[in-house]
Amino acid sequence: MKAAVFREVNKPMEVEEIEVSKPGPREILIRTAAAGVCHSDMHFFNGTYPGQLPIVLGHESAGIVDQVGSDVSYVKPGDHVITCLSVFCGHCEYCLTGHMSLCQEPEVRRGPAEDPRLSYGGDLLHQFANLGSFAEMMLVHEHAVVKIREDMPLDRAALIGCGVTTGVGAVIHTAAVEPGATVAVIGCGGVGLSCINGAALAGASRVIAVDMVASKLELARKFGATDVIDASGGDAVAQVQALTGGGVHYSFEAIGLKVTAEQAFQMLRRGGTATVIGMIPPGDMVTLHGVEFLQEKTIQGSMMGSNRFRVDMPRYVDFYLQGRLHLDEMVSSRIKLEDVTDALLALETGEVARSVIVFDN
């Protein structure tokens, strides 16, 4: 099969012919229909986060089941599925207490003594996030997928696999925003727009979008923002406080920077909660003023929207088909696999919400 193989930091990925193994007892072979190009992939492509090389990147995807292993009963060939990097074992402490997105059990991957799922000339190729969706096919554990209804367009369904689940889930699950609350979202990329959409779904009375790109702020209004702030035009914290008379109940950082994480905490009112979703570079320290803790302010992280993806994702599909989840507007462009490096580099300009690789099946 063809795959975009990442071999060296900041070097364009070439589309190569690689080998994919047959499904093991609890594995599924999926024919990839679409894969979103996410900023998380870019963090590894540019070396901000270390990774094992060579590797097939990509983790936001949807497709059609091609083959199943001998012990798989959840799906069958022909089923439409969304993948999720929150691959869960189902029996560890995190899974059994409802925190499946925190599961790290190694059994969802092949062991070192087993044949690799992906290889090139007999040499191991790693799978990003146990998926590797910048490829025509994905061989994954059965707990990496959720079945969805077949009338859902797969190029839109792919976005639910990461960005939507991360953003909407951070609002609904991690922060548990209640109706009538005020919300600020810093960063209006795919995840930030999903936060805004999630805040609207949760019934927030005011949703303030913060970014430095005018086109993304305009797009944020379509996702449910009631107010927008251009951070390039002055102190974003002061502007949020002025709009709300002292700060918001909930803030969300969807960029992954030290300074914006600090701003998310600073723009809270007393008793407010800041949720950091973005991937802050390793080694960066976030500095907070201790006196603000006396105001019962909270700062927390969120992993993939604290999801229960086999429950959440079919609901998000329903929301989209009901016109309540805005996925059409999130797609900036549909591209071919060989264009993936250009799509990653386009994320650096801040102008793109999501490019989606569409495979011809």
- CA–CA separation, 221 and 334 (whole Å): 23
Query: 80 and 153: one domain?
Result: yes
Q: Report which of 319, 360, 33, 117 is spatially closest to residue 200, judged by C-alpha positions.
A: 319
- CA–CA separation, 260 and 152 (whole Å): 35
CATH number at residue 251: 3.40.50.720
Query: 114 and 57: one domain?
Result: yes
Phi and psi at 113, nearest 5°, equal -85, -10
pLDDT for 17-55, tens place per residue? 999 999 999 999 999 999 999 988 998 999 989 889 999
pLDDT for 161-213, tens place per residue? 999 999 999 999 999 999 999 999 999 999 999 999 999 999 999 999 999 99
Residue 94, domain extent: 2-161+306-358
Domain count of the fold of the chain: 2
- CA–CA separation, 11 and 14 (whole Å): 9
294 confidence band (pLDDT: 50, 70, 90) = confident
Region label for 228, one of left (φ > 0), alpha (ψ between -120 and 50) or beta (otherwise) = beta
User: Percent of the chain scored above 90 by pLDDT?
Assistant: 90
Is residue 297 in some structural domain?
yes
What is the torsion angle, in degrees rounded to the nearest 10, for the CA atoms of residue 186, residue 188, residue 192 and residue 193?
A: 140
Contact 178, 250 (CB under 8 A): no
Query: 290 and 313: one domain?
Result: no
Q: Is residue 350's pLDDT more than 80?
A: no
Q: Is residue 347's pLDDT more than 90?
A: no
Contact 87, 67 (CB under 8 A): no
Query: 43 and 144: one domain?
Result: yes
Query: 224 and 291: one domain?
Result: yes
User: What pLDDT was estimated at residue 352?
Assistant: 72
Contact 256, 280 (CB under 8 A): yes
Q: Is residue 353's pLDDT more than 80?
A: no
Query: 180 and 265: one domain?
Result: yes
344 confidence band (pLDDT: 50, 70, 90) = very high
Is residue 166 in some structural domain?
no
Query: 120 and 141: one domain?
Result: yes
What is the torsion angle, in degrees rounded to the nearest 10, for the CA atoms of residue 190, residue 127, residue 103 and residue 147?
A: 70
Q: If you average pLDDT over residues 81-98, what whole number do you get?
A: 95
Three-state DSSP string of the chain: CEEEEECCCCCCCEEEECEECCCCCCEEEEEEEEEEECHHHHHHHCCCCCCCCCEECCCEEEEEEEEECCCCCCCCCCCEEEECCCCCCCCCHHHHCCCHHHCCCHHHCCCCCCCCCEEECCEEEEEHHHCCCCECEEEEEHHHEEECCCCCCHHHHHHHHHHHHHHHHHHHHHCCCCCCCEEEEECCCHHHHHHHHHHHHHCCCEEEEEECCHHHHHHHHHHCCCEEEEHHHCCHHHHHHHHHCCCEEEEEECCCCHHHHHHHHHCEEEEEEEEECCCCCCCCCCCCCHHHHHHCCEEEECCHHHCCHHHHHHHHHHHHHCCCCCCHHHEEEEECHHHHHHHHHHHHHCCCCEEEEECCC
Where is average pLDDT lowest: 161-165, 293-297, 347-351?
347-351
Out of 284, 301, 318, a domain closes at: 301
User: What pLDDT was estimated at residue 236?
Assistant: 96
Is residue 125 in some structural domain?
yes
Is residue 169 in some structural domain?
no
Is residue 27 in some structural domain?
yes
Q: If you average pLDDT over residues 276-291, what whole number do you get?
A: 92
Query: 131 and 36: one domain?
Result: yes
Question: Pairing state of beta strands 137-141 and 354-358?
Answer: unpaired
Query: 155 and 9: one domain?
Result: yes
Query: 139 and 16: one domain?
Result: yes
User: What pLDDT was estimated at residue 290?
Assistant: 85
- CA–CA separation, 11 and 147 (whole Å): 35
Is residue 167 in some structural domain?
no
Out of 286, 301, 316, a domain closes at: 301
Query: 273 and 322: one domain?
Result: no
Q: If you average pLDDT over residues 119-146, what whole number do you get?
A: 96
User: What pLDDT was estimated at residue 361?
Assistant: 55
Query: 243 and 292: one domain?
Result: yes
User: What pLDDT was estimated at residue 349?
Assistant: 74
Q: If you average pLDDT over residues 206-232, what whole number do you get?
A: 96
Is residue 148 in some structural domain?
yes
User: Percent of the chain scored above 70 by pLDDT?
Assistant: 99
Enter the tokens of residue 179.
């109706």
